[in-house]
Structure 1
């Protein structure tokens, strides 16, 4: 019987997560779905058929988060298609769903994988995260909004789902609002 080296066994869930991400990226490229991740495509879908476009928008946002596609692409498309108010509100709902979905998928595969990294830096980061999980997520959302890397890291950090979602729900509105105003202004300048 072939013995699994202890190091591989210890990091098996992280290795499985990397394999999952690799397969997901390969399927994304082979399926041609990458052609749907454009500002024009998303904007047209939201304008042409509101219900179908909204469902597609939420689904692509969640998939995009897993694939490390920045959420600001989705926000820009929604603001340009629906205006800053409706585009911002729809993006907020999609972002909350996407962050929660990513957390659950990554946690189910990777577990608390980052806790295996036992060094001074990770212990310091985790001590702050453990003491004030929701407020830490709240502050991180202000800096990184819906960053896929942040979502993966928090999912692998061992933080609970409830504080993660609370920090996300409360932390996203202000940065999303500022980005909505920026994209609305850019849209007015560029599109006349």
Structure 2
């Protein structure tokens, strides 16, 4: 097989991965050109939550979902919600928004890339998928405990071929504990900064 033929075969085999990468790159470039990055600061998010109680929630969820696709860390949204609404309300809001954002990223990536990661036939990949397939809900919950809403994790799981129902169940099961811990942490930081100022 010639080098050109091998390259074409590789492109065909990994075309869906390239399509996901291209989509995420174009989305990031488009948002940067439109100046959307200014909406992804903790202060901008906090202001929207305070100024628009009802619409602020919808804007928050939308920004969280878009931010997840743009690889913006979820803790930024959590910190803004805790400072704006307190740990209890901010935590509940973040839990709902995080679950929605993770689900949206999964569905968008799955739609574009299918189960493209299953194309890898190496022993390590087969071992990882065997672990994931044996109990996908618990595997996702465990990953959430370690990595919370990490955008790259959502992309990888979207391409993994696991069923959406298992993904969502694992996400809902695994997010409460880390969100609660982060809420307490950000609340303490806000109190320290507030008393210091």
The interval holding the TM-score normalised by the smaller chain is over 0.9
Alignment of 1:40-55 (within 5 A): 40-55=43-58
Provide the residue aligned with 2:77 in structure 1. Answer: 74
1:38 pairs with 2:64: no
Shift of 1:74: 0.2
Shift of 1:101: 0.4
Match of 2:123 among 120, 129, 139: 120
Provide the residue aligned with 1:9 in structure 2. Answer: 12
Q: Distance in 1 between matches of 2:182 and 2:120?
A: 34
Give the TM-score normalised by the residue count of structure 2: 0.94
Deviations 1:31-55 (A, max 9, x none): 1110111011111110111112111
1:27 pairs with 2:61: no
Provide the residue aligned with 2:90 in structure 1. Answer: 87
Secondary structure of residue in 2 paired with 1:79: helix
Shift of 1:73: 0.3
Shift of 1:191: 2.1
Q: Identify unmatched segments of 5+ residues in structure 2.
A: none
Provide the residue aligned with 1:151 in structure 2. Answer: 154
Secondary structure of residue in 1 paired with 2:71: coil
Provide the residue aligned with 1:65 in structure 2. Answer: 68
Q: Distance in 2 between matches of 1:8 and 1:24?
A: 22
Give structure 1 regions of 4+ aligned residues with deviation exceeding 6 angstroms: none
Match of 1:139 among 131, 138, 142: 142
Provide the residue aligned with 1:168 in structure 2. Answer: 171
Q: Identify unmatched segments of 5+ residues in structure 1.
A: none
Shift of 1:112: 0.7
Q: Distance in 2 between matches of 1:143 and 1:83?
A: 24
Q: Distance in 2 between matches of 1:160 and 1:149?
A: 18
Give the TM-score normalised by the residue count of structure 1: 0.96
Secondary structure of residue in 1 paired with 2:86: helix
Q: Distance in 2 between matches of 1:58 and 1:89?
A: 12
Provide the residue aligned with 2:104 in structure 1. Answer: 101
